[in-house]
Every structure is written in structure tokens, then in C-alpha cells.
Amino acid sequence: MPSNVASSLPRTPNHPARTASRHPHDDAPDTASLFTRLAALQDGPERNALREELVAAWLPMAHRIAGRFRDRGENIEDLRQVAALGLVKAVDRFEPSRGAFESYAVPTVTGEIKRHFRDRMWVLRVPRSVQELRNRVRVARRELTLQPGSAEPTTAALAAHTGLSEDEVKAGLEALDSFSTLSLDAELSMGEDGYSLADTFGDVDGSFDTVVDREAVKEGLRRLPERERDILYMRFFEDMTQSRIAEHLGISQMHVSRLITRSCAMVRAEALRQ
């Protein structure tokens, strides 16, 4: 503990001030006078040094809060760093007139850690309500499997333990997988004919566009005279040249070209009106 902080603490266990200002946790030092000094100082080296001493004095408390969130998929050292950031924010924003620093710092540090889980840890973004279901289901499952040899609790058992409906429990169980995702390149078979997750997905079917286009032009084609319909069919479905169509119908190739252009324009205009 820094010397300035340590010097502010009573020297003997029986000091009356220690009895009067006893804190609920061993890692909650009596730094009220230091915060009063900090509030009176202007920005500068002296204030920065005192601020660092206060952060160092309360850091064990921040680490204790971080320890409550262990085993939730995040490294404890990373959680301690997040807690330390929350502590710095608490020191910077605290006003001595508000009362005890611990009462302000604990929710500030806890909130910083919860935001870290909400904003950084969820690979798949899910609604806050689903995150809360996930936490309730996770705690219930852990409580129901505390005894060695306990079987994995059923959905009904989790629902009874949490007071949730089975549908809510299922949503919470699905959200348990949202902290991590499986790469599309992940191998799903260990044999020689192994395949990746991406190989199981379908591909875009180009025929869908053809179906949409055909449906779009149906009405316009119905409105064309029979000869124009025949010309479009021979040109686009039988792949006949304009010269062959002209020979087949006994008209000029130039006339065929004009009919195709006019018919296509009519069909297009009809499709755009739908």
C-alpha cells in the first residue's frame, strides 16, 4: 500500500476512529481524507500522484469484484484490467459529499465488467432479455449439477428451478452458445473425405432469377399479337437468327428486327407497370 495512504490509517487496532469508520471488507481502506484533498487540488503532478495512490489503495477491491465473474468465458486477468478501468472512472468521478467511496465504486466497477461482457464477449449479438435468460439458465444448471455424478438437468427441471417457462429456458440454452462461433472452415469430418462447415451450405440458384423474369413478362407476352409472340419464341427460345425467321415467315429481315424491338419494348413496359 502506498505510504501516503498507509499513513492516513490509524496506528492501533483500538483507535476509536477505526471502530467508528469500520468498513465491511478488508480491501476497503479509509481514504475519505485523501478524496477530500483530491477534490481540492487543481490538475497537476500533485493531484495525479494522489489519484494514483487512491487507485492503488482500492485496486484489491476491484480485483475482488472481478473474481465474481470468473468462469464465464473470460480470462481473469482481462477481467481485472476491466475492473481497474472501472475503478479509475470511479476515482475520477467520485464526489466526497456523496458519502462512502465504496458505495459508489462497487456499482461503477461492476457495471464496467457487465458492459464488457455485453459489448465484447458476445460474438453473436442477442437482445438484453435473452442475455438475462442465458444467465439465469447458466446459474440454475450449475446449481443443479453441484453434486458429483449429477445428470445434466432437463429443460423441465431448469424451468422448475428458475420459474421460467420451458420456451424461455430453451432460449437461454441457445444463448449459451452465443459467446463463441464455429469457423466456416472448421472440419466436420476426420476422415480422408473431410469437409468444412461451409461445404454444408447451399449456393445461390441462378434459376430463381429466370423464374422471376418469366413471371414478370407473362402478362406482356399475352397482350402481343400471335405473330409477334411466335417471332420472340423463335428468336429467344429456339435461338433462330433474324434471317431464318424472316425466311420462315416470308418477310424481310429488317421487318423482323423492327417487330422484335417493338415487342420487347411492349413486354418490358408491361412488366414495369406490375
- Taking residues 218-245, report their average pLDDT: 90
Tell me the residue type at 245.
I
| Residue 274 confidence class, pLDDT cut points 50, 70, 90 | low
What's residue 216's pLDDT? 82
- Residues 59-110: pLDDT tens digits? 999 999 998 888 776 778 888 999 999 999 999 999 998 888 999 999 999 9
What's residue 259's pLDDT? 93
b (16+ CB within 10 A) / e for 198-228: eeeeeeeeeeeeeeeeeeebeebbeebeeeb
What's residue 242's pLDDT? 93
| Residue 10 confidence class, pLDDT cut points 50, 70, 90 | very low
Q: Kindly list the structural domains of the chain, giving each domain's residue range(s) and its CATH number in brackets, ordered by start.
A: 3-121 (1.10.1740.10), 128-184+191-200 (1.10.10), 207-273 (1.10.10.10)
**193 vs 165, more confident:** 165
**141 vs 227, more confident:** 227
pLDDT reading at 165 higher than 60:
yes
